Structure 1
Amino acid sequence: MGLSRRTIILTASITGAVVLATIGGGAAYATYYGDRALPGTLVGETSVAGMSRDDIVAAVSKQSQSAKLTVDITGTQKKYSLSDLGVTVDSQATADKVLAMNDSILDRFYALFGGHSVDAVYSVDAKVSQKVLTELARTAGPAPVDATVTADPASGVFSGSTAENGMTIDTKAVESAVSEAAKGLSSSSLTLRAIEVGPKVTTEAAAKVAEEANALVQLDVTVSDTVDRYSPDVPTKAQWVTFETKNGKLSSPKLDRDKVNEWVEKAVKEANVAPTEGVNNVDSAGNVLVEAMPGKKGFSVNNASAVTDAIVSSLTDRKAYSGEFAYDEVAPTYAARPVLAGYQNYVYPAAAGEKWVDINLAASTLTAYEGYNVVRGPVPMNHGGPGRETVVGTFHVYLKYQKQDMGCSPEWPYCVRDVPWVTYFTGSYAMHGAPWADAFGIGSDYSSSGCINLPVDEARWMWGWSDMGTAVVTHH
């Protein structure tokens, strides 16, 4: 059986008196206890009287390892050491606290007539402590279930779940018991009862927030440019919506800007137009002789972030959003392609194998080349006459029709239906079949309104042979 506190103090006092008598009086006593625990000193229930600092550290450390807390919950017992409870006893700091009491010589003499009790110095790991509290609460029964709000992935419709009551414990009582065990380095027991509690988020609260979320995702969002319109569907907008629970209350639906921005960036990728690389034919010194294949400028959205912010702001205010993408033009790049030797002898400086068309308005002929090899022609053709001359210059095929009505509108003085094998090279100028013509070439060459009229078979060949971008040179 352990000694009572009164007995311990009395024994310490007697010991102190003996020390005084043996060592030679009060001065010797004061000197002896200069670096030792005073008579009657306890750490919790552990006597450290007369111990040196190292002995105190060892005693506190040993006692902290043996202290236990036994918790009984509705007949189920669980035992925890201090370390299991997240408690770390600082033996060094506790020893310092004990020895701090004998800084004064008077305090050393007062210790002969009364005891001192010191609480151990300790700290608690909040995560470990919370884990224990949760474990104890689950021993009492299932936890309450908060109602939540989720969206159906397919439809984007929000609904609230059903909340449920649950069980918990008096956590304050556990925390108090842990504190007492830690300060006193003592074993103790605690009896808890299961307490029924309701959820923090009720079924009704979740249903109300779900209704707000459904109204939010029904708001229209439209971003347009000069050609297309981009609008997210309801399931997509449902992915933008988030909910927060603060102080036990479920917040109104909010928008996740990052999610909104993901959709905007996806729309931007569809809206952006990449530039098309062109080709320049160059001489041996790298000088550009002709634009062999026109490059096309691109367009890049420059206000994606602003559109995202505007969508979030508008929907947060519970208003539909309609906005536009703004663009920067992106200039095309050009590849350099060397021309064939002897290009000076032709009206077009061609590269090896390059398709191009020579339309000689003076000779009323059309010749198709690949490089400087003739692959068709010269083919007799008709072109425009005075007042409706065929345009002169270097152009490129940009549009084709197997057949097309020509004229047939108020701004044109004629109407020809189903003109065959139409190959446009600039504006309204095209090479096409002319089944109405009886002759082609010199003598009938001014019969068109500016287009290049060809026999139907020749027009069909040209339509099939030429590519988009094929150079067409008209000249006298």
Structure 2
Amino acid sequence: MNENNEMHSAGSFADGETTAVFAPLDLSAVATPAAHAHAKSAHRHVRKHAIWPWIVLAVVALLGAFAGGSIWFFQSHVLPGVTLWGTPVTGRSYNQLVSQIDDAVANTTVTASYEGKTAKISLKDLGLSVDSETIASQVMDAKRNDPWWQRYISFWKTNDITTEPANPQAAIADTLNEKLSIEEVKPVDASLQLNAEGTGFDVVAGKQGQGVNPTPVAQAAVKAVQSLDSSKTQTVAVTLSTTQPAVTDDIATQAKATIDKLVDKPVAVTIGDHQIATVDAPALAASMRLDANENAKLTANETRNGYVVFDADKLQQYFDNSVKTSLSSTRVDQEVIVNNNGDVIDTLKEGHDGVTISDDSSFGQDAVAALAKGSGSVSVTGTVDPMQTKSTKRHVVVDLSDNKVYAYENDKLIRTMSMSAGQGNDRKTGECTGGDLCTPTGDFTIWLKYQSQDMSGNLTLSDGSQESWDVKGVGFVNYFSHSGCAIHRIASQSAINDAQVAELGNTSHGCVGIGWDQAEWFYGWAVMGTSVHVQV
């Protein structure tokens, strides 16, 4: 009996396994009064309700983090809903796009066939390149100006970039003809040629050729590239035909319009506020080429304005060899003649600034960037000693009352000459009393000059009578009125000097005659544009 009790207390079982035996649990130690239990139950209820705001806050935080992360991600990746040539490219980076386009260009070929012979032809074989960086930039910029919800949420709102990777019309057939063993007469591109004066450009017409027309092959290649799937190839049968040059006459004409604008309003080269040169027509000729493929990939030194491509290195070389060598560090002042209106009517001495350039290393790159935009200026570093202009004002006063011609320089009288005016002018008062044969009064400028001229005419006067004249070899003629009045050597068969003119009276049909001893000097002094004031 005791043995059995001992075995039970040890927890022995028939299988020989034993287990620990615990003392009976005293429930009184954990017993809770009813009121206390109710309080704990209420506390658990309060805690259960208090957790929901935290759950909502956590969800909002997660959504905010997701939205913020998405916005951050799409700052450097293609926005939702953007496609390239119909292919979705959302989420791609700029470098991924460039690589994808370049891979499509490099791996795409079209099978060209001619009389049973075939050849694999790529865009490169056709002389075409693709500016993947520019196209990728267009894709990256797509939808950037849309409202934020259309940028980041409205993925169903698509924006397809359709820029043609290359212009099929600009394809050349050299490699195509070679691979298909076709003899070709090459077309000659139209071009622009600097005119004889060096002030503008003329179009030199292109010439047609004979051979394979590369355009259908190029069109198939471009279409394959736009699929972004190089496995999509096709076969194009080619035929011999008249081939057009890549740069047609029409393209050259459009290029000329671009260049003409740059010639009419040239890019200025400045040091500070001083213009020291311009990118003129010869500079453009030295640095440009025509390219029919408007989307061709350019080198790092090139920029494009339509069909015209400018090379920064060539422009820099032209500036170094032709512009800088024409500049001088020593200033030379200009001397000009002006009239009463301040118009420059003659230049006695050309002048120039004193220019010293210390740094022009970025001129070429800056200049072609301005040419690509179509206007602007380029700054180089240096100093300028500005040219000064010395002006000499010349004007003439014809006084019909005292019968004199006065020549002034800078408002100082330098010469007085006797004259014979129109027969209709009163010799003492200068008034027009004879009607039709008067010298007109007013302000004029000399607009036409002849060293010698035969003068003839036939005038019907207001009284019905006829006045005719025919004088050979009138010397040193200076027309001031468009009605035909001039200051000239008095028309006579033999020389009449200044003193003799004073005794003649008014003998002309409206012109102003001066002595033979004065006329040649006056002709040389009163340059084209000189002011003439006729008074009574």
Q: TM-score w.r.t. structure 2 length?
A: 0.31
Q: TM-score w.r.t. structure 1 length?
A: 0.35
